[in-house]
């Protein structure tokens, strides 16, 4: 009797504490210096745009206040980074532009993940002819020119959002400044997400499909578990890795989409401003003053770098097989 209990105890002391997939992944991520650097830059930029900028705004700094006697001021002459073509504080403009750029990208990414996971998950889990038809629709929409599909969505949605904004201002007496600012963001966000979810849907579908075929899902099925339980308890948790990786890599591509549309003049409109808008304005004054282009362009590129390195690092950490190390 004694002997049968003894080994159990000693075994417990010998066996190391098991480490989860996530702990393993975190250890691998910590070794990747570029990814850590990217992560730090992402945090710094998020803090600067969403915490520092509002505090500065409360202290009386503004990115919209014009000062025509101080146009194109140099570094430190007026404001930390000087001023733009209308004498506005460039630092505040870049931070406030970043708020909009990041906000649109993050909101669109959330929508993309939601739609992509539901659509791709159903297509992968149901499979068969239904799944194929669902994926053919995605493939078909991906064969449309990017600009046409995004601008098309934006134009359709913005008509309705404008009506809604009028209603809120006229009937509900909301402050028109706030309403119009948001009314400008929403069509753009929906349009980007409306195109962006297609790739997400594809990725989720392929991983849901391969998971559905695995033994543990079959076991869950033969135990008579409901579809909902299988999807939420067994399939979704196992798809979390690819979803997180892809979402991280989606944010920079959405920042880029937003910037491209704003650059074209079909994105953010005044009084809102974004990195793409600032770059477009700056490019007009290239020969007079380079900083007006350089400051938003550098911050914009740096943000894309940081998100991409972080995303690549996450992929290497969460999916070691794919990273070939």
Partner 1 sequence: MLRIILSRLIQTLVVVFLLVTFTFFAVRAIPGNPFASDKATSPEEQAALEAYYGLDKPLPIQYANYWKNILVDGNFGDSLAMKGRKVSTLISESFPISLKLGLLSLALGMGIGIPLGIIAALFHNKWQDYGAMIIAMAGICVVAFVLGPIFQLTIALPLDWLNVAGWNRPSDIILPAITLCFGVAAYLARLTRGGMLDVLSQDYIRSAKAKGVPSLQIITKHALKPALMPAVTFLGPAFAAIITGSFVVENIFLIPGMGQYFVLGITSKDYNLVLGLVLFYGILMGIANLLSDLALIFMDPKLRTS
Single out the segment in contact with partner 1 by CB under 8 A; choices: 15-23, 40-48, 91-99, 275-283.
275-283
Q: Is there binding between residue 58 and partner 1 (CB under 8 A)? A: no
Q: Is there binding between residue 266 and partner 1 (CB under 8 A)? A: yes
With contacts defined by CB under 8 A, how many residues of the chain interact with partner 1? 41
Q: How far is the CB of 263 from partner 1 (least distance, A)?
A: 5
Q: Is there binding between residue 164 and partner 1 (CB under 8 A)? A: no
**Residue 271: is the preceding peptide bond cis (ω within 30°)?**
yes
On whether the CB atoms of residues 87 and 68 are closer than 8 A, the answer is yes
Rg of the Cα atoms in the chain: 25
Report residue 79: phi and psi, to 5°: 75, 160
Single out the segment in contact with partner 1 by CB under 8 A; choices: 63-71, 136-144, 175-183, 218-226.
136-144
**98 CB-contact burial (10 Å; exposed 0-12 / middle 13-18 / buried 19+):** buried
Q: Which residues contact 275 (CB under 8 A, 6 or more apart)?
A: 94, 97, 98, 101, 255, 259, 262, 296, 299, 300, 303
Which one of residues 145, 171, 173, 228 is an interface residue with partner 1 (CB under 8 A)? Answer: 145
14/274 Cα distance (integer angstroms): 57
What is the Cα 299 distance to its own chain's centre? 16
On whether the CB atoms of residues 274 and 97 are closer than 8 A, the answer is yes
Q: Is there binding between residue 197 and partner 1 (CB under 8 A)? A: no
Single out the segment in contact with partner 1 by CB under 8 A; choices: 56-64, 205-213, 235-243, 279-287.
279-287
Cβ nearer to partner 1, comparing 234 with 274: 274
Which one of residues 283, 288, 319, 320 is an interface residue with partner 1 (CB under 8 A)? Answer: 283
Q: Is there binding between residue 308 and partner 1 (CB under 8 A)? A: yes
Which one of residues 252, 254, 273, 314 is an interface residue with partner 1 (CB under 8 A)? Answer: 252
Q: Is there binding between residue 151 and partner 1 (CB under 8 A)? A: yes
Q: How far is the CB of 232 from partner 1 (least distance, A)?
A: 32
Among residues 89, 87, 6, 102, the alpha carbon closest in space to that of 50 is found at 102
Q: Is there binding between residue 140 and partner 1 (CB under 8 A)? A: yes
Q: Is there binding between residue 201 and partner 1 (CB under 8 A)? A: no
Which one of residues 91, 134, 256, 310 is an interface residue with partner 1 (CB under 8 A)? Answer: 256
Residues 314, 262, 46, 73, CA torsion sign: positive
Cβ nearer to partner 1, comparing 78 with 109: 109
Q: Is there binding between residue 246 and partner 1 (CB under 8 A)? A: no
Q: Is there binding between residue 167 and partner 1 (CB under 8 A)? A: no
Q: How far is the CB of 63 from partner 1 (least distance, A)?
A: 21
Cβ nearer to partner 1, comparing 190 with 263: 263
Residues that bind partner 1 (CB under 8 A): 136, 139-148, 151-152, 155-156, 159-160, 252, 256, 259-260, 263-264, 266, 276, 279-280, 283, 286-287, 290, 293, 297, 300-301, 304-305, 308-309, 324-325
């Amino acid at each position: 009797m004694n002997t049968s209990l003894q080994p159990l105890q000693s075994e417990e002391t010998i066996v190391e504490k098991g480490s989860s997939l996530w702990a393993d992944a975190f250890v691998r991520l910590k070794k990747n210096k570029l990814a850590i650097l990217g992560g730090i830059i992402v945090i710094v930029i998020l803090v600067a745009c969403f915490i520092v900028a509002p505090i500065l705004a409360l202290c009386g700094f503004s990115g919209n206040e014009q000062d025509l006697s101080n146009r194109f001021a140099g570094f430190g002459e007026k404001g930390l980074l000087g001023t733009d073509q209308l004498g506005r504080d460039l630092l505040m403009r870049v931070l406030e532009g970043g708020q909009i750029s990041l906000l649109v990208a993050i909101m669109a990414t959330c929508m993309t993940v939601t739609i992509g996971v539901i659509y791709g998950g159903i297509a992968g889990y149901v499979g068969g002819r239904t799944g194929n038809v669902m994926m053919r629709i995605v493939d078909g929409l991906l064969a449309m020119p990017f600009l046409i599909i995004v601008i098309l969505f934006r134009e359709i949605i913005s008509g309705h959002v404008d009506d809604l904004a009028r209603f809120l201002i006229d009937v509900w007496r909301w402050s028109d400044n706030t309403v119009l600012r948001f009314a400008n963001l929403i069509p753009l966000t929906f349009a980007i997400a409306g195109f962006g979810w297609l790739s997400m849907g594809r990725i989720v579908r392929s991983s849901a499909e391969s998971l559905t075929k695995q033994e543990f899902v079959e076991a869950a099925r033969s135990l008579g578990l409901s579809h909902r339980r299988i999807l939420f308890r067994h399939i979704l948790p196992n798809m979390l890795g690819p979803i997180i990786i892809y979402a991280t890599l989606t944010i920079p591509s959405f920042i880029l989409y937003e910037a491209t549309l704003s650059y074209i003049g079909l994105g953010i409109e005044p009084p809102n401003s974004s990195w793409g808008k600032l770059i477009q304005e700056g490019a007009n004054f290239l020969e007079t003053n380079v900083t007006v282009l350089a400051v938003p362009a550098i911050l914009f590129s740096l943000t894309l770098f940081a998100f991409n390195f972080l995303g690549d690092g996450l992929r290497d950490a969460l999916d070691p097989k794919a990273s070939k190390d």
